[in-house]
Amino acid sequence: MYRGRRLRRTGTLRAMVRETSLSVRDLIMPYFVVDEPGIVRKPISSMPGQYQLSIAALEEDVAKAVNNGLHACLLFGIPAHKNEAGSEAYAEDGIVQRATAMLKKRFSQLLVITDVCLCEYTSHGHCGLLNPSGMVRNDATVELLARTAVSHVRAGADIVAPSDMMDGRVAAIRGALDAANYEHIPVMSYAAKYASAFYGPFREAAESAPKAGNRKTYQMDPANAREALREVAADIEEGADMLIVKPAGPYLDILAKTRAACNLPIAAYQVSGEYAMLRAAGQNGWLDEQAAVMESLTGIKRAGADMIITYFAAELLEKGFGR
């Protein structure tokens, strides 16, 4: 008779037959950078333990994280001033550009990934330019995204990650990078990004909630799985080097299907709402937070992710994960 318990008898035996393992190299830590002088850490109330960091504070926090083994980070910028065209997103001395330059100078081994989107930079909070009726203009936005990506790479970014969900942006970014002699820089595209309520805390963190309307005309309908595969195919066709599926936990089926449909490296984004839920339950003593976090990350890897973007990364490393 088959007895599954034979292989579960001791810890060593379980470890030997374990199918999935989480490594330090899988983790990507997101950071929110604000344009403030000096060392500033502003707590994000819906994401306890996460902060908006000034460049000097980012330097301190990343120094600690790198010392604990962090390999890669993802940067989001909150500019001092927003406008209709989100022009701080592609300013040479924009907040992400300066933060990137500092990080690459200080930590040359660290992979700096930059989020390419306009929503943190526009006064209306949408991910692109608006036409008079409030609809996001696709192709005009794509041009600005390409400019943004080039400016990030000029500042030293190792990888650019467009999260806007405009059509054709991967091809435009690839073309603009190549034209600027950055043909060696990979594009990690948010291929399957859903219009999710789980981004709520992020919008507080990035001060990027749309002032009117929602993102449903560009981000995907949570009810759709086949559409994700069309987005994946389009991004690969346009030249994406890596893909992101986002959110992660409620979309493990999409992750597994994406894994089966292509051979590119895939990152999963455990988003702000997933972080907030685990953290809140942990703080209330309703869950063993550390165990639940590890289980959620293992589940995401098991479903097919090669890498995981998670707000828990720095803390896990600080607690000794991987050592």
Catalytic residues: 193, 246
Minimum CB separation from ligand PBG for residue 1, in Å? 47
Query: How far, CA to CA in Å, does 51 sit from each of 4, 12, 139, 215, 272?
Result: 45, 39, 34, 25, 12
Coil/strand/helix, residue 321: coil
Q: Which CB atom, from 57 or from 127, has the smaller least distance to ligand PBG? A: 127
Which position's Cβ is nearest ligand PBG? 202
Q: Rounded to an integer, what distance in angstroms lies between the CA atom of residue 172 and that of residue 145?
A: 8
CB distance 300 to 245 below 8 Å: no
Minimum CB separation from ligand PBG for residue 215, in Å? 6
Residues 6+ apart with CB under 8 A from 118: 86, 89, 126, 127, 128, 129, 141, 144, 145, 148, 164
Residues pairing with 156 in the sheet:
none
Q: Rounded to an integer, what distance in angstroms lies between the CA atom of residue 147 and that of residue 249?
A: 32
Q: Which CB atom, from 127 or from 142, has the smaller least distance to ligand PBG? A: 127
Q: Which CB atom, from 180 or from 200, has the smaller least distance to ligand PBG? A: 200
Minimum CB separation from ligand PBG for residue 31, in Å? 12
Residues at the interface with ligand PBG (CB under 6 A): 115, 117, 119, 127, 163, 199, 202-203, 215, 271-272
Q: Rounded to an integer, what distance in angstroms lies between the CA atom of residue 92 and that of residue 191?
A: 27
Minimum CB separation from ligand PBG for residue 246, in Å? 7
Q: Rounded to an integer, what distance in angstroms lies between the CA atom of residue 210 and that of residue 120?
A: 10
Q: Which CB atom, from 68 or from 141, has the smaller least distance to ligand PBG? A: 141
